Amino acid sequence: MGKKNKAFVEKITAMEDDFAQWYTDVVKQAELVDYGQVRGTMIIKPYGYAIWENIKDELDRMIKATGHSNVAFPLFIPESLLQKEKDHVEGFAPEVAWVTHGGDEELVEKIAVRPTSEVLFCDYYAKNIHSYRDLPKLYNQWGNVVRWEKTTRPFLRSSEFHWQEGHTAHATDADASQETDRMLEVYADLVEKYLAIPVLRGRKTDKEKFAGAKYTLTIEALMHDGKALQSGTSHHFGSGFAEAFNITYLDENGKSQYVHQTSWGLSTRIMGALIMVHGDNRGLVVPPRIAPTQAMIVPIAQHKEGVLDKAYDLRDQLQSILRVDIDASDKMPGWKFNEYEMKGIPVRIEMGPKDIEKEQVVLVRRDTGEKEFVALNELESRLPALLEEIQQNLYDKALAHRNEKTTVATTMDEFKQTLDEKGGFIKAMWCGDVACEEKIKEETTATSRCIPFEAEKVADTCVCCGKEAKEMVYWAKAY
Ligand SMILES: [Zn+2]
């Protein structure tokens, strides 16, 4: 790297030195977010929002393809409504932001700013579901919610975040189960195929499940520093909420029945996963399928006659094939290289007088830094193939990292030692007793991440108490 570019790169802390600082640096330098005025809030800047929009658009398409409709419910929840389901209100109470005044007047009943919208949907369903013909109700909404968090980090834990929340009502428990499974699979698909992040699919323990749920399904991803990130959850409520809110329908025989409900959500937290799974010491790395700009043309010696014209021609030619842009500003090419590496743009296309003479360009991959010369007349077939190679390589790398950082532990000493020395996921047997789960958390700070759908047996006894084991659990320190 030339001296001219050095100062720019030095602004990022190396991830080996201080991972948390590296994360903050990338978020800032890649121009993803800025801090809001109220503690823990964030301003998602154009580049950050463009990535989120690509994720959102893809997920929205999948949600609609599985039969759901989008709706928009209010931001506000009356206190009495929030308190109707006991476990739910207990789970969220410490994080609720309250509106107590309207103008100068104190409100008779205080109003919660939604931390999640289950109760609003339940209230609506109670009034609008009458017969088995009204079922299923398959609603989704895109919106923002507020949770008054004590410690906050951009994307990972913010006082306000953006997400989608699906809320559905079904005639039977089995229908609701199917829905819970289906939506988890939609999330897994999105995260694996578009974000190139491999995920573990499984069920949360009762201690870790959503407040008020019968059970919670989750996808869990492993970050570069060996910590896990819950990346999407799908909850089966059984008829718990229906009983609290009296949501009933008349079945085919005219008999009154409770509905069975689900909810599922995926938030801007996933942006944190994207940064921490693929990023490196040169900045962000964005998988091609969700990259707002998949290739950036950087003209070399652009002051020379004909170079800019050719570069613009190239952009026009490629626009129907991929999301391509050109930087014809008067910044030095080296500076531009650094900037687009920082932003994680998958491919850089260099084009200078010599290339024009030879009717070729130089392609540089963000993920590996590899360069290749490609003839202009082969570019239209080479670029899409290259983007797919990058997408696959990012996934393969992340999977290899997760495999390397997944370790079996059969004793607490092994458990602790592995966690200290290499972090990552620990596979260990569990007796099913919450006391052991709590003890493990206390002694190691690792939490149970999920009980995988495909049951495994790595020992006969619980890693903590030595009694007969019921399940194999993935454990990890987590965000
Ligand atoms: Zn135990």
The token pair that represents 395 in the structure block:
């996934």
pLDDT at 101 over 50: yes
pTM for the model = 0.95
pLDDT score of 3: 46
Q: How far is the CA of 452 from the centre of ligand 1 (A)?
A: 18
d(CA 248, CA 172) in angstroms, rounded, equals 12
Q: How far is the CA of 432 from the centre of ligand 1 (A)?
A: 7
Q: How far is the CA of 424 from the centre of ligand 1 (A)?
A: 21
Residue 9 — very low, low, confident or very high, per pLDDT cuts 50/70/90? low
Tally: H helices and E strands in the chain: 15, 23
The per-residue pLDDT for range 120-170, each reduced to its tens digit, is 999 999 999 999 999 999 999 999 999 998 888 999 999 999 999 999 999
pLDDT score of 244: 94
Q: How far is CA 196 from the centre of its chain?
A: 11
Q: How far is the CA of 177 from the centre of ligand 1 (A)?
A: 28
Residue type, 459: A
Beta carbons of 449 and 475 less than 8 angstroms apart: yes
Q: How far is the CA of 465 from the centre of ligand 1 (A)?
A: 4
pLDDT at 37 over 50: yes
Helix 269-278 vs helix 19-29: crossing angle, to nearest 10 = 110
Q: How far is CA 265 from the centre of its chain?
A: 10
Give the number of other CB atoms < 10 A from CB of residue 281: 14
Q: How far is the CA of 478 from the centre of ligand 1 (A)?
A: 21
Residue 10 — very low, low, confident or very high, per pLDDT cuts 50/70/90? low
pLDDT at 402 over 80: yes
pLDDT score of 380: 95
Least confident residue range of 144-158, 243-257, 272-286, 439-453: 144-158
- C-alpha torsion sign, points 401, 403, 404, 405: positive
Q: How far is the CA of 184 from the centre of ligand 1 (A)?
A: 28
Nearest partner of 129 among 166, 169, 167, judged by Cα: 169
Average pLDDT, the chain: 95
pLDDT score of 1: 43
Q: How far is the CA of 429 from the centre of ligand 1 (A)?
A: 8
* CA triple 171-177-230, angle to 5 deg: 135
Q: How far is the CA of 415 from the centre of ligand 1 (A)?
A: 14
pLDDT at 6 over 60: no
Give the number of other CB atoms < 10 A from CB of residue 239: 17
Radius of gyration of the chain (CA): 25
Beta carbons of 479 and 156 less than 8 angstroms apart: yes
CA dihedral 141, 144, 150, 153 (to 10 degrees): 110
Q: How far is the CA of 294 from the centre of ligand 1 (A)?
A: 49
Q: What is the DSSP string of 385-439?
A: HHHHHHHHHHHHHHHHHHHHTEEE-SSHHHHHHHHHHT-SEEEEEE-S-HHHHHH
d(CA 31, CA 164) in angstroms, rounded, equals 23
* Domains in the chain with CATH codes: 2-278 (3.30.930.10), 293-388 (3.40.50.800), 406-476 (3.30.110.30)
Average pLDDT of the residues in 363-381 = 97
Average pLDDT of the residues in 197-223 = 96
pLDDT score of 109: 96
Residue 11 — very low, low, confident or very high, per pLDDT cuts 50/70/90? confident
pLDDT score of 7: 52
Q: How far is the CA of 295 from the centre of ligand 1 (A)?
A: 52
pLDDT score of 84: 87
d(CA 287, CA 302) in angstroms, rounded, equals 29
pLDDT score of 5: 47
d(CA 462, CA 131) in angstroms, rounded, equals 47
Q: How far is the CA of 439 from the centre of ligand 1 (A)?
A: 9
Q: How far is the CA of 226 from the centre of ligand 1 (A)?
A: 25
Q: How far is the CA of 433 from the centre of ligand 1 (A)?
A: 6
pLDDT score of 167: 98
List phi, psi (to 5°) of 424. 80, -165
Question: Any residues with CB less than 8 A from the CB of 214 and at least 6 apart, and which?
Answer: 235, 236, 237, 238, 240
